[in-house]
Every structure is written in structure tokens, then in C-alpha cells.
Chain A
């Protein structure tokens, strides 16, 4: 099948036009990975667990990369497992070993982690399985690349941190996406002065998805059982590096508040009739949740979470001592004291975004994808997504993805901590320091551009 990917070749192909400093930036987080082998001269072997919408997309992304092998797949639904097997075979790779159908059923991923020789496990299951799968991978000498959230509870978070520190195998939510590095570049160049407040959220009406039992039978249950910010990772992946969280600053404490829950009952009543159990069932999750997060350096983050109301979409806002940037989804605006032409009037951010476009993005030129555009739930891209590139680089070079174990755990832990606050009338809850003091010394990620 495909020719083996040599590290040097991969770098050559993927970084044509990139300066070495960009490469350094992409691979900057180099913590305790000394015992990791690098993959020079070897294919990268990935085992996939969970082949739903996102899992299909990730598998498709991986199969488009030369030098990546997929020797094992685990999925509990036979139709999806069959489809995944066909995808691997169609790419010209050997037929993968299949898991998920045996007597172990839902926990068959443990057998995959124990028996297969893999560099990393790619986890895209429903949320509650993320931590068990990630831990099984790490404890079986495999890295774990996971969809968001990495885990649901603080107990799981600490177990992942301990597994990382014990085994040297990392766990990362790199599959969730990539930060806005151009904005980060502007911050690093001091365009906004000192960043003191960032506001973002996950505002996305998922009432249809939650009630799509065929596609995601598990998702509604989280709204029934839990109440907090259940999906912090998308905003946090840009906010954390923008504020150097875990790299010079850290989250001190947070408060969180949820509104009443009316939307899901109404939706069920309208769609399925007032006799349907979901029309009257108690939904714990408030329709709107807002969380206020404070860092030890005195900065603030405001996170919104709303997946139930007909709210067109979120907006991102970053405030510094010299100016402000807002991404209102339709239009990106900026105001900088001094450079902006009108006093306290927004102007288009486009010229600035162009000027400060991060070379990592501007010069991104991965090897051509094999097999056409990516399939599954996600953007239909003809190019290897940059987070996948980052993941492959980490495995190849023996580093960690841009969002390393501590940062991934921190990002996803926002959920559990907000739930604790909401349950106690918005009580302030201290945020765990998963780095155990190392945040003071850890250097900011993507420093060089």
C-alpha cells in the first residue's frame, strides 16, 4: 500500500515555505515525553474507537494522510463498523481488526487498547466513554487523541493526569479543532495591550440533534441529568492560549448560573405530542448558562452556553488595555485606541487579520490528501485539517499536540466545576491546578510567529 512516511519527507512536504521558527512553534509544548519513541521511518498506527458522525470524519481525515495506518477499529453499531471497515479497505490499506461486536460490547475498546500495537487511539464516542477509553489507551502505552470533552468528572480528570505522569503517554482534545492563531499572533504582538477579559460561548440550537434518537441516543440524557456549561472546549481552545492559562496564569475560581429549563419540554410537546414523556420530564439543564471565570492574575473569562433557544449564534469578544476585538460570526470588528480612525467606533478587523495572519496558517501546506474530500460530520475539506496535521506532527516528533494533557484536562474540567457552582446557587468553586504549580514555569504555546 502506501509508501512509508519518513519524518523528513513529511516535514518537507508539509512545511514547504514554513520557517523553522514556525515548526518550533507548532511543536513547542515539550513536556515529559522523553520516553516516547519518535516515529521516524515508521508508519503511524492509529486505532479508532467510535465511528459516528465525528468518528467518520476523523477516520476520513486520517485515511487521506499517507503514512497513516488504521489497523483496528472499535464501534458498537454493526452498520457503522462495517462502513468504517469499508472505508479503510477502499483506501487501499489492509482490512482492520474489528472490535465492538463481541461479548464485551461497550467495553471492547479495552481489548483493542490491550492487544493492538498502536501509536495512538482516536476517540470519538459519546461523552461518557471518553475518559475510560483515554485511560485504557494511556495505560496500554498508547497516546489518546480525543473529541471534546476529554472527560466528564474531576475524578476522571485527575486519573488522566496521573496516567500521563506515570506512563508518559498523553491525552489531548486536539480532535476538537484548532485555536484562532491569528488572533493569538495579534496578542503576542501587543496589538491589544494586556488582555483582561474574553467572552465567548457555545450558542448553538441543538434541540433537533438532542431529539434525534437514531443519530445520538445519548445526548439528551446529559440535559436531563446535568446542569452547567456542558461544552466549554470550543471557546476554551482559543481563550486558554490567549490568556496563557496553564502557561503563566491559571484559572483560580469560577461561578456559574443557569436559567430555567423550558425549551426541551416544549420542543418535545410540539414534535412528539404533549403525551410524550419528554414533554413533561424534568430537564435539569437550564436553557441558558453563563459562567464567570477568574484567573490568579486577575483576568476574567465569560462563557455562555445555550443549546436550546433559537439564538442565531454566539459572538467572541476580547478586551485588552489598548483595544477590543469582536467576532460576531457575520462580521469581525475591532477597535484600537489610536490606530482606529473614529473614536470608540468599530472598524472592520479584516486588514488586521490579514496583516497578522499567523504564518502557521498562511503557509499551511500539508501533503495532498488522498481520496478526495473528508466525509462525515465536519467541514468537507480537500486538505488535511490543521489540527490533524498537528496531531501527526506530535506523534512523529515525540511531542504533544498543541493542547497537551494538562490543557485538555483543564479545558474540559470547566464543565464539572460549573455544575458544582450551579448546584449551589452560583457558589464560587475553586478550580483544580492540574499542573500542580508547573503553570508558573510552562512557556506560552505558539510563541513564535
Chain B
């Protein structure tokens, strides 16, 4: 039986206004549940773990064709499936979502080159998709709380996974990802387009070449005003799940955009490792007020009045075993131009984003624009050069125009690695480490910014692991074209 959206709402008990107070607030939890979740953070973070198999540097057998099943084709996933569809060697064979319309739209959007089967028969239909034996990779772009369960189930069924960030919400989920990936020897890759786009890849290449000297400190954040267009939108997210994540959760919920590039510049998981962190949060100065204002006009918003909204500004300080510091901020509710990866400070030089600039001396200030551009050109990493070549070729054929235009180098390199039988650039340890900052920051905020040790998901292997994220295609490959 294929269910449509109305049926789903009915079975889930969400079909009428009367249920707003109970089920619709996914983030709605009791005080006991919050406390229980936080106490588990501390327990799970101090877990001693012995690696079953080191997935870092692991190369899975090469796949000529990468057959993809996509789950979650809403806001984000509808783009993800188009991006993946535009890479040579990818065959989108299945698309899953709760909503039939979304599935059909996604299928239609790639129909020129792919003929996937749709899965929209209720909440668990993604499992049926994962159980197919003709899929190599499951791509996940569902609401956050589903990511880990889906990834684990996919790996258990022999699939590699590619997860929209964040990969996990709890430390327990981080461990499940690591254990499952190691046991099944399936890749678990968290999407982090920020690592290959913008300046981050260039700066990483400079860092790897010693241009900035020894890295001491980095800063970034997810500063992105989601207040009205996203959070307080009835239509942008299924059952307003994104707004619900702003209720009863206090911490940095989205550290990856800033953290993943900095982790690579600091060799985290392969040369250095996070040691401990502290996190602090301001009060909420406008979300509760916004909910009240909206409810005065429209009773739809009444369940959102008087809720425990996350403070506007969260800042988290992380210290590594080798003494580096990282500051990451999270603010999605104040009016402010955005920030992601923002600053890296080395013993020789400093990079600052927006606008990108480099400085090598306090007295001389930032270097002139021409010199900056020349350095960026000189240190353009091979991964970017090759990816751009492939895109240009695709543009020449006229196909990269429309929907394919937004394919990014992270997508491309993942498929390229799978097809060439290479290790992936970002593995399960990177997904777990950067995701663990979410619950750890929640624990710290709940404990008056007390410091908490960051678990070592590599179980000590970080000291001997070879460097990951080889931006100059040192491990080979780079042969995959873009359609």
C-alpha cells in the first residue's frame, strides 16, 4: 500500500489541530527526558573503546557504477539527489520520502538520465529501500533525528552511506555509527560541502604546505539567520521539525560547517585530537517573543508560546591534545550576515574569511588583494582544479546548465573514490567527532559551561593514522566526469 501525506498524518495522529500539544513538537520533551539524555552524554563520552577495524584509510572494493538510494527529498534532499545524479557512474535507483509528491518531483527532476523507483509507503519505507540488494550507497537528507538510525540500518544492509550533516545527535549515536562502520566495513561519510567550496580547500592546501606555519587557533560558526523564513515557517520543514529543534535543546546544534574544515587544518583524527570543550549560551531574546507575536495573529502558533527556546548565541571552545584551540559559534536567530569557517591562526600567518584575506605580520596588516589572489591561485588544490575541469567539460556539453549546476566537489570526490576503490576523504570518525560536539555542548551548557572530555572515536589510532582529506588527490583518482 502506498500512503499519501494525508494518510500519514492520520496514522501518526497529527491530522487535526487538537494534537498540536502532543505529537507535533518533535523536540517537545519532559524535564526528565532532558536530564536523562544529558546524563547519558557524560556516560557515553567517557566510554573506553577498542577499535574493531580501522576505517580510516580503508579502501572498499571499486565500484564501476555507484547505485544510489536517496532518502529524504524535501528542502535539502531534493537538491542532493540532483547533485548526485549529475555525476558520471551514478545511477539513482530509488528515492524515498514520506510524501509521494516529493518523491515524484524528485524522480521527475532527474528523469532525463535516471529512472528510480519511488518509496513513500509510510514512515518505515526507507528500510525496504535499504534492504534492496542492488544499491551501493544510501544518501540521507531526512530530519536530523532519523540520520543515525537510517545510516546504521543501511550499513547493516551492506550499503555505504552519505549523510547530510549532522550525522548524529547523541554520543550514543556517534558510537553506533563508528561501531557499525567498522564491523560492516562500509563507509559512513558526512556531507560537508564547506570543505571543498569557498576558501576552505585553498587554505587547507596552504596549511598542508606550511604557508601559515604551525596552526594554533581557529574560529568559525554557523551564523545563519533562519528565524522567519525557516524556523517560523509552516511549509519549509515537515511538521516544523527544524523549529522544534530550537525548543528544549541548548547547545551548538550545527557545528560541522565551521568545524570540519578546521579539523582538517588541525589534523584532528590523524595527528591531533580534541581533548575537551566548554560551551556557553546567551538567553533567548527574540524567539519566544516571535512565537507570542505570531500566536496573536494565528492560533496555529499557540503551541509554540511559552516554550523553552534555545538562547540566541552559543559559543563553544575546544582544546586539542596538542594544545590548539577552536572557537565555534552557533546563532540562527539574530539578523546578521552569515559566517562559517572564519579564521585560522598559525605561527607564520593568519587567514580571515569574508572577505578572504591573509596576513603575515601585525604591523603590515593584511596583504594586498593582488598578493592574496596570487597566493590563492598558487595554492589552488588539485581536487578543486580537477573538479572544475570536469564541471567545465559538462558545461560545454550544455548539460550542466539547469539543476546539475550545484554539484559540489565533496559529492564528486566521494563518488570518484568509490569508483576508483580509494579511501574516502572524510570517514566515520570525522562524522562522529564533529557530531559529538552537539551533545557535548548541550551537556556543558546544562552544567554552567563546565568542561567535558571529548571521546576519541579512533580509540587512539589518531596518533598513527595517515593524514585524511588529501586535497591534492595524493591517493589517486580524480577521473570521474560530470554529466
Contact = CB atoms under 8 A, between A and B. Distances in A.
Interface centre among A255, A321, A324, A335 (most CB of B within 10 A): A255
Contact of A312 (B335, B336, B365, B448): B365
Interface string A187-200: 00000011011000
Contact of A310 (B278, B285, B362): B362
The dominant DSSP class at the B interface is loop
B322 interface: yes
A178 interface: no
A428 B278 CA distance: 9
Interface residues of B, number: 50
A287 B282 contact: no
Contact of A197 (B313, B352, B364, B449): B313
Contacts of B361: 205, 310, 312
A330 interface: yes
A344 B335 contact: yes
B345 A309 contact: yes
Interface residues of A, number: 51
A300 interface: yes
A321 B325 contact: no
The dominant DSSP class at the A interface is loop
Given A196-B283, A321-B285, A259 B323 contact: yes
Contacts of B303: none
A436 interface: no
A300 B334 contact: no
B34 interface: no
Given A309-B216, A344-B335, A426-B317, A300 B359 contact: no
B276 interface: yes
A257 B279 CA distance: 11
A196 B325 contact: no
Nearest to A207: B362
A343 B34 CA distance: 36
A294 B280 CA distance: 8
Contacts of A255: 278, 280, 317, 449, 451
A306 B217 contact: yes
B450 A427 contact: yes
B74 to A, nearest CB: 23
A331 to B, nearest CB: 10
Contacts of A312: 350, 352, 359, 361-362, 364-366
A262 interface: yes
B278 A257 contact: yes
Interface centre among B214, B335, B365, B448 (most CB of A within 10 A): B335
Contact of B325 (A194, A286, A299, A330): A286
A266 interface: yes
A263 interface: yes
B337 interface: yes
A298 B324 contact: no
A253 interface: yes
B345 A346 contact: no
Contacts of A297: 283
Contacts of A289: 325
A313 B362 contact: yes
Interface string B305-334: 000000111010101001111010101001
Nearest to B329: A302
A286 B285 CA distance: 34
Contacts of B352: 312
A414 interface: no
B327 A290 contact: yes
Given A255-B317, A260-B324, A300 B217 contact: no
A292 interface: yes
A49 interface: no
Interface in A171-223: 193-194, 196-197, 204-205
B338 A309 contact: no
Contact of B336 (A258, A294, A319): A319
Given A288-B217, A319-B312, 12 more contacts: A255-B280, A259-B323, A261-B323, A286-B325, A287-B347, A292-B317, A302-B329, A309-B216, A311-B345, A320-B334, A322-B335, A344-B225
5 contacts: A255-B278, A310-B350, A312-B361, A335-B336, A425-B451
